[in-house]
Chains A and B, each alone.
Chain A
Amino acid sequence: MNNFERNLRAIYARAYVRIAGTNRELSWIFFTVFLPLLGISAYIYVYKATADPEILNSLLTRVIIGGATLAFWMNVLWGMGNTFYWEKEQGNLDLFFMAPISRTSILLGMALGGMFSTTIRAIATIFLGAFIFKISFTLQSPLLLIVTFVLTMIALYGLGMLFASLFLMYGRGSWHVTNLLQEPIFLLSGFYFPIKFLGFHIAFIASIIPLSLGLDSMNQLIGGNFAQEWALMPLKIELLALGVLSVLFFYLAIKSLDYMENLAKKEGRLTLKYL
């Protein structure tokens, strides 16, 4: 069997664990689909309390799209980013790293497995949110929206793999640093407000986070005129940048995974628990 087939099997096997686990106890439907909607609703009510009615729909659209995308970001960060940490603590990391597969296939399997519940959460957020709060979407181009979403996800998952490499070397420290970065990334990604509000220069630097560009682009395609007024950059440029980020993060992730693995093996930290 060649390497490619073997890695495909590994992706499938690791995804299977996630999917089987998710489906063997369905409490997640309540806790991770419905309840997070409450948090998002809180942000909707912030705008309902204070925003100009003329721009309200656009702002609420932004919150709903942000909330849906948040599900994927949390999957990337906690479902994939810290995979190696939890696998190490559970005693599986040795076995994964001894097997003749690439590290990215373990991470991809984890990510794809998590996609199932994540996608349900995202769809529930959009439809329920739109239904409950009577939000209307001004969809310009469904195809372009799909392309934007896919590119954002690719770049995002690449970034997640980069985070994952840190966990090979730094256990709990990485966990805390990821926790620490979570809030600033929410801030700089424009989940609930346009990042252009931060000032062009800060927003431009923030656009290194795939979510910033992705959310900005998606809002341009679905949020109406107000969203377009507050767009950071023209859509085409943002899409191009997302394409570049996709490639860049995957490349960096592969390099970082190799580097961190070698470093961890050198320092004897690869299989050390409770770091």
Chain B
Amino acid sequence: MSIIKTFKSSAWLGWEMESNWANPFLFALYSIARPIAGIFLVVLMYWFIDAPEDLFALMFVGSVFYMYIFNVLFGVSWVIQEDREHYKVLKYIFMAPSNIYFYLLGRAFSKTIITTFAVLITLLFGALFLDVKIIFEKPLFFLLSFILGIIGIAAFGIIMAGISLLLVRHNFYIGESLAGVFYLFCGVIFPLSVLPSWGQSFSKLLPMTYWLEATRRSLLGFGDSSLNGITDLHIFRNLLMFGIGFLILSLISFKYCTDLAKKRGILDMTTWH
């Protein structure tokens, strides 16, 4: 089965699973309400302590785009758990001539599209009601870094998906938990200068740090002050390296985990408890 066909079918499946539980109106309401409600926790924290405007703007953009990190990371790794434990179709997907790697990429793609709606709605909400000044001054830089960032996130999600093949289903999921690493170390909701020095050094090893910085520079015209010494080109180069690196790593690790799961005979185990 062609790669494109696999990708398209799984993207369609991802969309259906996210949307066909409700009528279109209710789904639209859910799609608007959920991201805005999600962002408000940190918004209210910042209002409570009366934080400066620029910090608020940095936090806002960081939180909005973090939705991609969380949804795609969690969404892709969750596919394994869901298809294995709930719908019990994982073994059939593995048996099919289609490439499961591209099946997962397709699911990541549909998650990305759905999240994009949420991101746009929330950005609009922020610009209209929360006084966040979106200037969008580097569209090409934004587009290229956005694509590379999403590739990197999806690849990381596939690494997590591979690991999920080997784990039982506990309540809190691997993708969700690891998204917490990025939440803390990528300066999503606070400036990186607050982290201890080892934390700041670690954050500079994470591609999502650069991705969020590129996004902030493109949309706000400024970024995290602790990254001021890093040029746009440097950021782009890092994203390219990490994007390709994670992609290659995801191919290797997913294959390894799949082989291990097959060897252990746990590809179709059900472990709900």
A contacting B, Cβ–Cβ less than 8 Å? yes
A78 on the B face (CB < 8 A):
yes
Asked if A45 lies at the interface with its beta carbon under 8 angstroms from chain B, I say: yes
| Cβ contacts B161-183/A at 8 Å (1 or 0 each) | 00000011011111001101101
Which residues 232-251 in B have Cβ within 8 Å of A in the complex?
Answer: none
Chain A residue numbers with a CB within 8 Å of B184 are 38-39, 41-42, 45
A173 near B34 with CB under 8 A, answer no
Question: A100 on the interface (CB 8 Å rule)?
Answer: no
Interface 1/0s, chain B 211-230, versus A by CB < 8 A?
00000000000000000000
Which A residues lie within 8 Å of B183 (CB)?
38-39, 42
**By CB atoms of chain B within 10 A, which of A24, A49, A180 has the most?**
A49
Contacts of A31 in B (CB 8 A): 170, 172-174, 177
- Please give, as numbers and ranges, the residues of chain A lying within 8 Å of B172 by CB-CB distance: 28, 31-32, 36, 74
Among the listed stretches A123-131, A152-160, A191-199, A263-271, which one makes contact with chain B, having 4 or more residues with CB under 8 Å of it?
A191-199
Contact status A198-B33, CB under 8 Å = no
Which of B41, B87, B180 interacts with A183 by CB under 8 Å? B41
Question: B255-273: which have CB < 8 Å to A?
Answer: 270-273
Which B residues lie within 8 Å of A186 (CB)?
41
Q: Is B130 an interface position by the 8 A CB rule?
A: no
Query: Once bound together, how far apart are the Cα atoms of A22 and B172, in whole Å?
Result: 12
Decide yes or no whether A272 CB sits under 8 A from chain B.
no
Q: Is the CB of A180 within 8 A of B33?
A: yes
**Residue pair A17, B178 in contact (C-beta under 8 Å):** no
**Given A32-B177, A35-B178, A183-B40: A22 touches B170 (CB 8 Å cut-off):** yes
Interface flag for B119 (CB, 8 Å): no
Task: Give the chain B neighbours of A51 by CB distance below 8 A.
Answer: 49
Q: Check A24–B49 contact: CB distance below 8 A.
A: no
On whether the beta carbons of A184 and B37 are closer than 8 Å, the reply is yes
Contacts of A37 in B (CB 8 A): 180
Residues of the B chain whose Cβ atoms lie less than 8 Å from the Cβ of A89 = 86
Say whether A50 faces chain B, with CB atoms less than 8 Å apart.
yes
Q: B271 is contacted by which of A21, A50, A78 (Cβ under 8 Å)?
A: A21
Flag A11-31 by CB within 8 Å of B: 1 or 0 each. Answer: 000000110111011011011
A42–B170 touching, CB < 8 Å: no
User: Please, which residue of chain B has its CB at the minimum distance from the CB of A30?
Assistant: B177
Tell whether A46 is near chain B: CB-to-CB under 8 Å. Answer: yes
A49 touches B190 (CB 8 A): yes
Digitize A41-79: 1 where CB-to-B-CB distance is under 8 Å, 0 elsewhere: 111011111111000000100000000000000110011
Whether B127 is near chain A, meaning CB under 8 Å from some CB there, is: no
Q: Which chain B residue has the least Cβ–Cβ distance from A39?
A: B180
| Least Cβ–Cβ distance between A108 and chain B, in angstroms | 16
Task: Classify the interface of chain B: helix, strand, loop or mixed.
Answer: helix
| A45–B190 CB distance below 8 A | yes
Pick from A41, A47, A90: contact of B272, CB under 8 Å: A90
Q: Is A187 part of the contact surface with B, judged by Cβ < 8 Å? A: yes
- Cα of A90 to Cα of B209 in the assembled complex, Å: 40
Is B21 engaged at the interface, CB distance under 8 Å to the other chain? yes
- B residues 110-149 in Cβ contact with A at 8 Å: none
Q: Which of A87-108 contact B (CB under 8 A)?
A: 89-90
B270 touches A90 (CB 8 A): yes
Chain B residues closer than 8 Å to A48, beta-carbon distance:
190, 194
A193 touches B44 (CB 8 A): yes
Contacts of B22 in A (CB 8 A): 173, 176
- In the complex, are the beta carbons of A187 and B40 less than 8 A apart? yes
B-side contacts of A47, CB under 8 Å = 45, 49
Does B188 reach chain A (CB closer than 8 Å)? yes
Contact check, B194 vs A49: say whether CB atoms are below 8 A apart: yes
CB distance from A102 to the nearest CB of B (A): 21
A86 contacts B by Cβ under 8 Å:
yes
Q: What is the distance, in angstroms, from B127's C-beta to the closest C-beta of chain A?
A: 20
Residues of A within 8 Å of B191, CB to CB, are 49
Question: What are 25 A-B contacts defined by CB distance under 8 Å?
Answer: A18-B273, A21-B271, A27-B167, A28-B170, A31-B172, A36-B177, A36-B180, A38-B180, A39-B183, A39-B184, A42-B184, A45-B190, A45-B195, A46-B59, A49-B190, A49-B191, A49-B193, A49-B194, A79-B171, A86-B86, A173-B22, A176-B21, A180-B33, A193-B44, A197-B47
A: residues with CB less than 8 A from B are: 17-18, 20-22, 24-25, 27-28, 30-32, 35-39, 41-43, 45-52, 59, 74-75, 78-79, 86, 89-90, 114, 117, 172-173, 175-177, 179-180, 183-184, 186-187, 191-194, 197-198, 274
Q: With A30-B177, A187-B40 given, name 5 new contacts (CB 8 A).
A: A38-B184, A74-B172, A79-B171, A114-B171, A192-B41
The 7 tightest CB contacts between A and B, nearest first, are A21-B273, A35-B177, A183-B37, A38-B180, A39-B180, A172-B21, A28-B170
